[in-house]
Amino acid sequence: MDVTLINPFLDATIKVIETMAMTKVSVGKPAVKQGKGTWGTVTGIIGIASKGLSGNLVLSFEEPCILAIVNNMIGEKHQTINEEIVDAVGELTNMISGGAKAALSEQGLLCDMATPMTVVGRDIEIKQFSSAPVISIPFETEAGKFVVEVCLKRDAKKA
Amino acid sequence: MDVTLINPFLDATIKVIETMAMTKVSVGKPAVKQGKGTWGTVTGIIGIASKGLSGNLVLSFEEPCILAIVNNMIGEKHQTINEEIVDAVGELTNMISGGAKAALSEQGLLCDMATPMTVVGRDIEIKQFSSAPVISIPFETEAGKFVVEVCLKRDAKKA
């Protein structure tokens, strides 16, 4: 596991969730993802690309966890997954990838981000095609869990 | 609809399917996607990113259509969606995005591609977060239909 590629996503996740949702986050141990289903009920995906790096960032939230995060962000009391919650996952995916992009660029690893997509539903078969492993990082909040999955490879074709 | 952004994907799709799968393809009329479900049974997704362009390419195949395409590609007789079929959709997504990237670059529109992902299942809620519309292009083969969805915006932040 290449921690120089993983840590920027881990740090950006903590910063965005703690700042935007005023939600304390603790991080578990990163591991290679087993299985090929969506981990949580709402999943955000964004592609990462440049001449030197390519892959995807995936965030996947348990329902109570994302409800608490988004309700904290926007000051509402949604009790089920609806369009507003899904849109917020797209926005969080954007913000976390933006933070990671900035941190990667400080290491001289330049990349650009695609636009976010969301998938709703648990254990939907979703698979990444890369020579790099999918690293799954578990996070815990008071309201529940989420995972961040990073699959990123350095490409030979440098800029 | 910005045809200079759409045509490279349309042309690359025809070229890849006709060359790799020796399958004649006819193209329907592109339209803005309605709804937010996966169109077919197996869907390939790849992020597109650069300082000037960002978005996603989505290919989604009816089951009989992708079985015929992949069986033609690899000379086998798979009768149901299995790992080999799903992997081939990842590979087709890669090849079509690569062809479109080359054609875009001939127009001076440089971009890089993320790595492909696949989603298995029909009408799974999947949504793109972009100010650009999702343009859906229907294709037809003897064995059935597929669609190519392109959501791509030009970014102000030029290289």
Mutate to test the interface with A, among B42, B120, B129 (most CBs of A within 10 A): B129
pLDDT of residue B140: 98
Please check whether residue A118 touches B, CB under 8 A: yes
Residue A158 in this model has a pLDDT that exceeds 60: no
Residue A157: pLDDT band (50, 70, 90) is low
| Chain A residues in contact with B112 (beta carbon < 8 A) | 49-51, 54, 112
Residue A159 in this model has a pLDDT that exceeds 50: no
The residue count of chain A comes to: 159
User: How many C-alpha atoms does A116 have within 13 Å on its Cβ side?
Assistant: 23
Nearest CB among A48, A54, A114 relative to B55 is that of: A114
pLDDT digits (tens, 9 = 90+) for A55-67: 999 999 999 999 9
Tell if the pTM clears 0.90, that is, is over it.
yes
| Chain B residues in contact with A37 (beta carbon < 8 A) | none
Residue B158 in this model has a pLDDT that exceeds 50: no
Among A26, A31, A30, A56, CA closest to A44: A56
| Chain A residues in contact with B80 (beta carbon < 8 A) | none
How many CB pairs below 8 Å do chains A and B form together? 121
pLDDT of residue A83: 96
pLDDT digits (tens, 9 = 90+) for B11-30: 999 999 999 999 999 999 99
Q: Is A100 exposed, middle or buried (0-12, 13-18, 19+ CB in 10 A)?
A: buried
Point out which residues pair with B56 in neighbouring strands: B47, B151
Please check whether residue B8 touches A, CB under 8 A: no
pLDDT of residue B157: 57
